Amino acid sequence: DIKGFVFDLDGVITDTSTFHSQAWHQVADKVGVNWDAELADALKGISRMDSLNLILKRDNRENDFSDDEKVQLATEKNDNYLKLVNQMTPANILPGVEDFLIDLSDKGYLLSLASASKNSPLVLKHLGLGHFFSKSVDPATLKKGKPDPEIFRRGAELLDLDPSQCIGVEDAAAGVQAINSAGEVSIGIGDPKVLASADINFVDTTKLNLGNIAKAMG
C-alpha cells in the first residue's frame, strides 16, 4: 500500500527548471560552449558542480578551468538563478500541484522533498508551500546525486516508510532512474520519450492527481 510521496521540486512543483536552464545558458555562452535543448535536459536533476562539469565536457573544456574558476562559474550561475527565484510568487506553482498537495495531506499521505537544489527552502518560501515539506532531504549531506537512489531512499526514510510504500515524482530522466533504483513507484512528468523508464507518465502536472494515479496503477 502506498503511504507516502517523495517529490522532486524543480520542474515538478514549480517551473524553475527553465530558470536553471536560463542561468546555465548564460554561463555556457560566456565560456563559449554550445547550448541546446538536449544539454538542457541532461542537466535536469544534476547538482550544481556536476552540471558545470557536464557543460564543460560538452566541448572537452573540463580541463581548461582551475577549481577556483569552476567555483566562480558555478557561483555566477547561482547569482543568475537567484535573480529569477527572487521574483517568484505562488503564481509559479505548476497547474494542479497545490490542489494535489492539499488532497494528499487531507487523505493522510506523508510527504517529503528529494530535491538536488540547495535553493529549495528559498523556492518553497516564495511559493508559500514550505508547510507541506517539513521533511526534506538536505542535498549537502548526499554521497551521490541523482541518478543514484540515495536521495529517494532518504526521502522514504524521513517518512519512516519502506521505499515500496512510496511514490516518487520527477521531471528528470536522472530522477526517474533514481526513484526506480530506490524501489519506489516512479511518476515522470513530461515528455514520455525522455522519461521512458517511468512506471507512470503524465505529460504535465494538470494530470497529476490520485484518480489518474489509481487508474495508471490498475
The contact set with ligand BG6 (CB under 6 A) reads 9-10, 17, 20, 43-48, 51, 78, 115-119, 172
The distance of closest approach from Cβ of residue 43 to Mg ion in the complex, given in angstroms and rounded to an integer, is 10
Closest CA to 6 of 93, 98, 120, 135: 135
Of 10, 59, 79, 199, the active-site residue reads 10
Q: 42 vs 167, which CB is nearer to ligand BG6?
A: 42
Cα 48 from chain centroid (whole Å): 12
- CA-to-CA distance for 74 and 216, rounded, in angstroms? 40
Is 68 annotated in the active site?
Answer: no
String marking each residue 129-168 x if it binds Mg ion according to CB under 5 A: ----------------------------------------
Cβ pair 96, 209 in contact under 8 A: yes
Residue linked to cell 538542457: 40
Q: 3 vs 58, which CB is nearer to ligand BG6?
A: 58
Is 10 annotated in the active site?
Answer: yes
Q: 9 vs 93, which CB is nearer to ligand BG6?
A: 9
Near Mg ion in 170-199, by CB under 5 A:
171-172
Cis geometry, peptide bond prior to residue 95 (ω within 30 degrees of 0):
no
- CA-to-CA distance for 53 and 86, rounded, in angstroms? 26
Which active-site residues does the annotation give? 8, 10
